[in-house]
Amino acid sequence: MGHWSLVGTFVSILADQRSHIDTAWLWRYTQTHQKIARSWSTQCDLMDRFPNYRFAASSAQHYVWLKEFYPETFERVAKYVSQGRFAPVGGAWLEHDCMIPSGESFARQYLYGQRYFEDTFGTRCREAWLPDTFGYASQLPQILRLCGIDYFFTQKVSFKYSRTTDDSFPGITSTPFPTRHSIGAV
């Protein structure tokens, strides 16, 4: 085993914070609204205190609920989005399942999600963001490319170990689609 040392070496580490909020798991939608508001207002508080702090959150539906039920918090989020510190990610209406839905469902997820982010914040997402899905449809890379998505992010170990090790998701076209895995995913 080798030994290495960073003594005398300047190391720069960049880390963005993110949250994954289950829209409907073991709670009611009203609790989801509260989780979104609490999570994202906390992130805005951290941005108030730390000028280099960044945060990413997905799911257009969550932004819609935030604006509807917590408009003051939504305005804070929108301010930080305009500063490039709060990043809408994923491009989909919701973080979706990939095993049961059809290709048409995927296309609509990204059509409506990307449209919302563009209309609301003036930006489209370049990455698909599915940190908590339990399977991956082979047509997903092709659909994502057609939706203007350049990258795919996941954290499920099953994806990492069931696909190639070159950080790509070939899908049915065998065209490599850049994929990233969350560090520390279990």
At 30-72, the pLDDT tens digits run 999 999 999 999 999 999 999 999 999 999 999 999 999 999 9
Look at residue 185 in the predicted model and tell me its pLDDT.
41
Assigned token pair, 66: 């935030």
Higher pLDDT, 182 or 88: 88
- For 4-14, what is the mean pLDDT? 61
What one-character DSSP code corresponds to residue 18? E
For 27, 74, 125, 156, the CA distances from 67, given in Å and listed in that order, are 21, 5, 19, 30
Using an 8 Å Cβ cutoff, are 65 and 36 in contact? yes
Q: Is 16 a catalytic residue?
A: no
pLDDT, tens only, 88-141: 999 999 999 888 888 899 999 999 999 999 999 999 999 998 888 877 888 888
Catalytic residue among 22, 45, 119, 132: 132
* HSE toward the beta carbon, residue 106, CA cutoff 13 A: 23
pLDDT, tens only, 151-177: 888 876 555 545 444 477 777 776 677
In whole angstroms, give the CA distance from residue 69 to residue 127.
27
- Using pLDDT thresholds of 50, 70 and 90, give the confidence band for residue 14: low
Determine the angle formed by the axes of helices 103-121 and 60-69, rounding to 10 degrees.
50
Look at residue 3 in the predicted model and tell me its pLDDT.
53
Percent of residues in the chain assigned helix, strand, coil, to nearest 5: 40, 10, 45
Look at residue 16 in the predicted model and tell me its pLDDT.
59
